[in-house]
Structure 1
């Protein structure tokens, strides 16, 4: 089979590596344009682009795939990408966390199959892993689905479930789902090549949407129940990082757990090597790993050596 691949972050790169290792012919990769990253804000290629270049695969990075885009540059790049896709006569496009909308003109060239990190129809949209943890879901998974113009509305082809452990963060759960998705897409294409890949319409019940994570969500409201904040800390690790403020200093909170305690929300009830216990709207939260501006992530005991918190309050 001739497979065009479209994806951008590491989640997608895992799938691309698996397809290459499985021997599929991949004549072209689509990925997002290079973006500034790191402290020096130097342009950095996406994880998918790096894998493609390592294996000598052609890469296209259009700003859009919509040939009717109002911006002339976007429309021109989309037209060039569309022409290149038409010239390839490929069998299927595999899409994973690409970041661009595929217009009807692209979907009509060949079947498009998506690797989605949730149990559809729950958590359609941009941030299914974050939202599953934030909402307290006990399980999630990967759905291999056919693509159509609606947002993650296409038929389900393969589904695998994964338990969400209490210790899981978005980072750890991402890695589990990326590895699972990579295995599943290889199996899906093998089934497709034999004409044996099933396609089941999504149920109308149970639809939820995973809105994109914004940095504004990082600010913790200690008036909320401790269990809600615990989930947010895990959901926002590694991005954007949960955050509190003490005496005007922003403090990132990377690891925490529910604890016993009662007091005014935000009040530090105790602070020692075992953790920093902060009163919440219901219960308390024990902060286990923190980071001050310009510093490193530190366990609570080490953090307290340079940032005493006893008797203070998180705002």
Structure 2
């Protein structure tokens, strides 16, 4: 009887948890899980385990949390697990060439875009910001470059007009796990997916999100601002000054047509929404958050205002 395939999984955030579950259910032997060290979280800033660490401990899988994989001790520790395959999903640490070369079957990565478009750290949000109509996940064989390796399997999904960074994240996490499960199943039955080199054209980088990007500029077109509201939900959340008050904006849509008055001015107020003039059209806001407050519907904000809203 042949020995089961030995797999090391490396991942950190919630996005990686379904992929870890797919590995655990695949028939391979998950011999260790690598994840980022515990970090301060919450108002008390207490050290908190990553979602992947929590899932690994619940499954009784050994957990490793090195600060880096670049030193010899960390590499020797990984080599001691004798992995046939390493699967990486949003791990957050760079794998040096010596680590990439360690498993006999190489290293696989689940990436949340249709490569070579949106290589890098924030492919989900960048796809929404750019107005892409479609995205997906690629199961890729890792190499030294940033998301440059050949693609093993790909799955696509449309980006809906109401998709947020959060909703698309959750859907791609499930899709990525299913794609990984298919790859592992093919590997185990002796029919591994064939690598296909990425196209040389169409390379776009998904740079890490910066909190400053979430500040809305009313001189921009309404459709651009609406995409920012969706992309930055649930983090870092779009914010803007409305009627002299800085607020977070959680839900909004673009309204086409000419708008009278300067940008940033409230030009209409209904029972459930307010329209704010932009560089092209208006942004209709339905859900917001005052500083120090909770997320509320616009109707509740309007009802709380003693002076009403000037249209």
TM normalised by structure 1 equals 0.92
For residue 156 of structure 1, what is the aligned residue in structure 2? 151
Q: Secondary structure at the match of 1:105?
A: helix
**2:297 matches 1:310:** no
Unaligned runs of 5+ in 2: none
**2:31 matches 1:31:** no
For residues 124 and 244 of structure 1, what CA distance do their matches in structure 2 show? 29
For residue 58 of structure 2, what is the aligned residue in structure 1? 54
Find 2:22's aligned residue among 18, 21, 45: 18
Q: Secondary structure at the match of 1:175?
A: helix
For residue 178 of structure 1, what is the aligned residue in structure 2? 173
**2:296 matches 1:298:** yes
Aligned length: 301
- Asked if 1 retains the 8 angstrom alpha-carbon contact of 2:26 and 2:184, the reply is no
For residue 137 of structure 1, what is the aligned residue in structure 2? 132
- Asked if 2 retains the 8 angstrom alpha-carbon contact of 1:127 and 1:210, the reply is yes
Q: Secondary structure at the match of 2:69?
A: coil
Write the deviation string for residues 17-58 of structure 1: whole angstroms up to 9, x where unpaired: 121123321111111111111122221111100000101111
Write the deviation string for residues 243-293 of structure 1: whole angstroms up to 9, x where unpaired: 002466420001100124513110111223231100000000001110012
Q: How does 1:38-117 map to 2 (within 5 A)?
A: 38-67=42-71, 79-110=72-103, 111-117=106-112
Q: Secondary structure at the match of 1:143?
A: strand
For residue 271 of structure 1, what is the aligned residue in structure 2? 269
- Report the CA distance between 1:150 and its aligned residue: 0.3
Residues 15, 161 of structure 1: alpha-carbon distance in 2 compared, 3 angstrom cutoff? same
For residues 112 and 106 of structure 1, what CA distance do their matches in structure 2 show? 9
- Asked if 1 retains the 8 angstrom alpha-carbon contact of 2:242 and 2:264, the reply is no
**2:233 matches 1:231:** no
